Structure formats: structure tokens, C-alpha cells
């Protein structure tokens, strides 16, 4: 396993739409292992492959609380098959937009399907933090950042702040 660099705004790769993968093999599992190690080191709770410069439809996540044992999850070619009309606000942050936190409204519940770490097809329902996180990470696969859900002014301020931090 290896730590990878996490891209930050305004890196143009973050705006690319990720490509589906043909299947889960050892190379893809190695990428997911690297992504998980990178996410834990950051630290974060979710990471899309495009955030480490690999525009493939792959996500890793771990929503375990700090005092709980790790619960790594892997999502290959994830799709949302249903989303509730009810929205839920949640203050989001992003490893690609460091130190910026803003409230975003997203569907409160979603159903999704994906391939797991072993290539097995999975369908499940998500709500709460899980629903927020999977939608946030799936946005990355479409080249969308959480700040794209904000007003133009807030988005521009966030990018300016990140650039300033990077230059310091």
C-alpha cells in the first residue's frame, strides 16, 4: 500500500467525469487499498479515485467513529437507483477543498447498487451520514465538488481560500 497525493481545487482533474471500470481485479484492489490508506492518513471518511488523480468510478469510505474499529467500504461503479424527495441538510467538508465546511442539502435517503472489493454486486439503502457521504463521493465521479452546490460567491471564496492556504 502507498500514500497518494490528494488533488485540491482548482486542479482540473477534479472536474473530469470518471470512467466505469470493467471489473474488480488485483490492480483495482491495490488502488482501493492505496486510497483507503490515503484517506485514513488525511484524515477523512470518504475518497473518490479521481481525488488521487485516477478518473475511475471507484470510492472508498469508512464511517466508523474514532473509538470504533475500522469499517472500510469499497464502491466500484456505484449508481443511485432511487433518491427520496425529502432533503436533509448536512455540513460537509472535502479533502480536495481543505478546511472549508458548508451546509449542503441532499436527499435524506438513497438506494444504490455497486460492486464491492471482491467484485460482488451489492444493493443497499443509505440514510444519515452514509447517504450524505455516498452522494458527496458519487458527485466526485461526475466532476462535481460539494462547493458546486453553493452560491457562486461562496464557491469562489472557498477556492480563493484554498489557493491562499496552498501558497502559504
137 is catalytic: yes
Q: Where are the domains of the chain?
A: 12-167
Question: Residue 122 in contact with residue 147, Cβ under 8 Å?
Answer: no
| Domain at 12-167: CATH code | 3.90.45.10
What local confidence, expressed as pLDDT, does residue 157 receive?
93
Yes or no: say if 107 and 86 are a contact pair by the CB < 8 Å rule. Answer: yes
**pTM to 2 decimal places:** 0.95
| Low-confidence residues in the chain, pLDDT < 70 | none
Residue 86 φ then ψ, to 5°: -70, 130
Buried b (16+ CB within 10 A) or exposed e, 55-84: bbbbbbbbbeeeeeeeebbbbbbbebeebe
Residues 47-60 pLDDT 10s: 999 999 999 999 99
Calpha distance 15→132 (Å, rounded): 20
Amino acid at each position: 500500500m502507498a500514500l497518494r497525493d490528494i488533488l485540491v481545487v482548482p486542479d482540473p482533474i477534479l472536474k473530469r467525469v470518471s470512467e466505469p471500470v470493467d471489473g474488480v481485479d488485483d490492480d483495482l484492489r491495490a488502488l482501493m487499498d492505496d486510497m483507503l490508506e490515503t484517506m485514513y492518513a488525511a484524515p477523512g471518511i470518504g475518497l473518490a479515485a479521481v481525488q488521487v488523480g485516477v478518473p475511475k468510478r471507484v470510492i472508498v469510505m469508512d464511517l466508523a467513529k474514532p473509538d470504533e474499529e475500522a469499517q472500510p467500504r469499497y464502491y466500484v461503479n456505484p449508481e443511485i437507483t432511487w433518491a427520496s424527495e425529502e432533503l436533509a441538510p448536512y455540513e460537509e467538508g472535502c479533502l480536495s477543498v481543505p478546511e472549508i465546511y458548508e451546509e449542503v442539502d441532499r436527499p435524506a435517503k438513497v438506494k444504490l447498487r455497486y460492486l464491492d472489493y471482491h467484485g460482488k454486486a451489492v444493493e443497499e439503502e443509505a440514510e444519515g451520514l452514509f447517504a450524505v457521504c455516498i452522494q458527496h463521493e458519487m458527485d466526485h465521479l461526475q466532476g462535481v465538488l460539494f462547493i458546486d452546490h453553493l452560491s457562486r460567491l461562496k464557491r469562489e471564496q472557498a477556492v480563493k481560500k484554498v489557493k491562499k492556504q496552498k501558497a502559504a
